[in-house]
Amino acid sequence: MPKSFLIDTSRCTACRGCQIACKEWHELPANKTTQYHWGSHQNPQDLNPYNYKLVRFSEHLEDGVVRWNFFPDQCRHCEVPPCKELGDVYIDGAILKDEKTGAVIFTEKTKGFTKEQAGEVRDACPYNIPRRNDETGLMSKCTMCNERIHAGMPPACVKACPTGTMNFGDREEMLALGKQRLELLKKKWPKAMLADPDDVNVIYLLIDEPAKYHDHAVAEANVGPMSKKQFLATLTRPFKAMKA
């Protein structure tokens, strides 16, 4: 049965345990960063080839009160992933979907994308997730810790989370938990919502408007996951005639 995450942002304290656990499990090197340099405690400033996971900080003023919203950003493992739809056009099998777990995996074959093609694959993602390592050409992002799941273990970020923000399990179980938590949170936070639950396997529970978390907290209305036919119909490049 496909797996899903429920990321309950109402419980996130921005401890960044998930972010560090992800780096440790994947043996990703540190980024050189400067804290406070750009007016936020968010660190690093953006996803990059060495950060598959990033706790985003969003600060805003509401009725004279400063509010901080935290958003542990990562690949959504889309039900119909547009990154794979386009990637297959350039190099078949460079991006895989494990139908057993639902994980969308970027392979070593992504090194074969030109810089322009990699940019288009990133643009195809409704959540602005994949990043290219300009030194190696490899594109990368969250793997769902697929190897851990096949070995009966939870993803590293879920295992490390001490607050109950990060939840993982069978899709139906996560959807049910999301609906149950939503019902409860709506009493205090009427704007609470589940972000794109029908389209993705990483479901965020938000208690505020999506824009108050992150520009790509939900898919743009015109870029969401779509069928291959629909997706190719949106392209204007020469390969459309060859592959459509």
Residue with Cβ nearer ligand SF4 (174 or 185): 174
φ and ψ of 161, to 5 deg: -70, 120
Beta strands in the chain, from DSSP E residues, in sequence order: 3-8, 54-62, 65-73, 95-97, 104-106, 131-132, 139-140, 166-170, 193-195, 202-206
Q: From residue 28, how far is each of 9, 21, 133, 142, 151 by CA, in Å?
A: 25, 10, 12, 12, 21
CB of 150 to ligand SF4, least distance (A): 13
CB of 244 to ligand SF4, least distance (A): 20
Task: Kindly list the residues in this chain that would bind ligand SF4 in the complex (CB under 6 A).
Answer: 21-22, 25, 52-53, 74-78, 81-83, 104, 125, 127, 129-130, 141-145, 155-157
CB of 213 to ligand SF4, least distance (A): 16
3-state secondary structure of 169: strand
Per DSSP, 227 falls in state -
Residue with Cβ nearer ligand SF4 (16 or 76): 76
CB of 11 to ligand SF4, least distance (A): 16
Residue with Cβ nearer ligand SF4 (90 or 127): 127
| CA separation for the pair 110, 93 (Å, rounded) | 9
Residue 197 CA neighbour count, 13 Å, CB half:
18
CB of 147 to ligand SF4, least distance (A): 10
